[in-house]
Amino acid sequence: MRQSKSVVKILPLALAVLFVTAGLAQQASKIAAINSQEVLEKSVEGKKVISRLQERDRKNQTELAKLDEDIRGLETRLSTQRLTLSEEALIQLSSDLDKKKKDRTRYAEDAMRDIQELQVRLYTKLQNELLPIIEAIGKEKGYDMILDLGKSGAVYFNPGIDITNDVIKRYDASKGTPAAK
């Protein structure tokens, strides 16, 4: 009985000390946030990366459309000339159609893999160029931690801790380009 009374008296005191200590620890830490997606979309180099990926995708889509058109042509020819073609010509046309479909599938898979590899290469290069800038801003402004909003899962943050625009300005300046708008 005595033990539980003393625990009841000590527990509020321990909780108060815990909350005060946690409050002091929070005040001592300076945290900033950056939105990497916004840097990608608004910086000059980020826009170049997006443009390059879009151009590659357009090229792939054009080639796939051409292959689709060729396949439709072969299918139309096969259906309209089925009764008039010799058996050998019919087999050859069916074979050509199957080959064209396989070519299209292979091209689509290769194009997807190619664009994913290009995206990884370009994003990694961009990230490697941004990290020293982010670290410099963090040191200059005395931040203990900088979170990437795109990857942190943050539900709320105070916009006052967002350093995204500072990073974009410095990154563009480091590339010798005028600030993106």
Domain ranges of the chain: 2-174
Angstrom distances, CA of residue 130 to CA of 31, 35, 140 = 18, 12, 15
- Dihedrals φ, ψ of 146, to 5°? -125, 120
H/E element holding 96? helix 87-140
The pLDDT tens digits for 2-17 are 444 544 445 444 444 4
The pLDDT tens digits for 62-104 are 999 999 999 999 999 999 998 898 999 999 999 999 999 999 9
H/E element holding 3? helix 2-28
2-174 falls under which CATH superfamily?
A: Skp domain (3.30.910.20)
